[in-house]
Structure 1
Amino acid sequence: MELECFPVTERPPELVPGRPQRAWMDHFSARHPYRCLPLSMANSSGWELLCPMSFTAEWNGGAMQSDITLRPDSPHPDFHKLASSHFSHGVLTFHAGYLFRTPPGWSMMVMGAPNHIKDGIQPLSGVVETDWLPFPFTMNWLFTRPGRVRFEKGEPFCFITLLQDKTLHEIQPVVRRMDSDPELRHQYDVWEKHRSEFNQKIFRNDPEATKEAWQRYYFKGEFPEEVEAPAPQGHVNKRRLKAPKFR
Structure 2
Amino acid sequence: MELECYPMGPRPPELVPGRPNRDWMDAFASRHPYRCLPLTMANTTGWEMLCPMSFTAEWNGGPTQNDITLTPERLHPDFAHFAQSHFAGGVLTLHPGYMFRTPPGWQVWCGGSPNQVKDGIQPLSGLIETDWLPFPFTMNWKFTRPGRVKFQKGEAFCFITLVQHQKIEQFEPVMKVMERDPVLQGQFEAWNRQRTEFNKRLANGDPDTVKEAWQRFYFKGELPEDTGPAPAGHVNKRRLKPVRMF
Superposed pair shares fold, TM > 0.5: yes
1:16 and 2:12 aligned = no
1:53 and 2:53 aligned = yes
One-letter amino acid matched to 1:116: Q
Give 2:232's aligned residue: 233
1:219 and 2:219 aligned = yes
CA deviation string 1:102-125 (max 9, x = no partner): 000111101100011100000000
Moved more, 201-210 or 41-50: 201-210
CA-based RMSD:
0.7
CA drift at 1:167: 1.6
Give 1:115's aligned residue: 115
2-side partners of 1:30 and 1:165: how far apart?
A: 38
2-side partners of 1:201 and 1:228: how far apart?
A: 23
One-letter amino acid matched to 2:134: P
1-side partners of 2:228 and 2:238: how far apart?
A: 26
Residues 190 and 227 in structure 1, CA contact (< 8 A), matched pair in contact too: no
2-side partners of 1:203 and 1:68: how far apart?
A: 51
> Match of 1:109, SS?
strand
1:29 and 2:29 aligned = yes
Give 1:246's aligned residue: 245
Identical residues among aligned pairs (%): 65
Give 1:182's aligned residue: 182
CA drift at 1:165: 2.2
CA deviation string 1:116-169 (max 9, x = no partner): 110000000010000000110000000000000010000000000010123211
Calculate the TM-score normalised by the size of structure 1: 0.98
Give 2:203's aligned residue: 203
Deviation above 6 Å: which 4+ runs of structure 1? Answer: none
CA drift at 1:90: 0.3
Paired residues, what number?
A: 246
1-side partners of 2:110 and 2:236: how far apart?
A: 24
Residues 94 and 138 in structure 1, CA contact (< 8 A), matched pair in contact too: yes
Mark the runs of 5 or more structure 1 residues left unpaired by the alignment.
none
Give 1:86's aligned residue: 86
CA drift at 1:79: 0.5
One-letter amino acid matched to 2:7: P
> Match of 1:96, SS?
coil
CA deviation string 1:155-191 (max 9, x = no partner): 0000000101232111121110111111000000000
CA deviation string 1:62-82 (max 9, x = no partner): 001000000010000011121
Residues 48 and 157 in structure 1, CA contact (< 8 A), matched pair in contact too: yes
Mark the runs of 5 or more structure 2 residues left unpaired by the alignment.
none
> Match of 2:166, SS?
helix
Residues 53 and 154 in structure 1, CA contact (< 8 A), matched pair in contact too: yes
Residues 109 and 161 in structure 2, CA contact (< 8 A), matched pair in contact too: yes
One-letter amino acid matched to 1:77: P
2-side partners of 1:90 and 1:186: how far apart?
A: 52
Calculate the TM-score normalised by the size of structure 2: 0.99
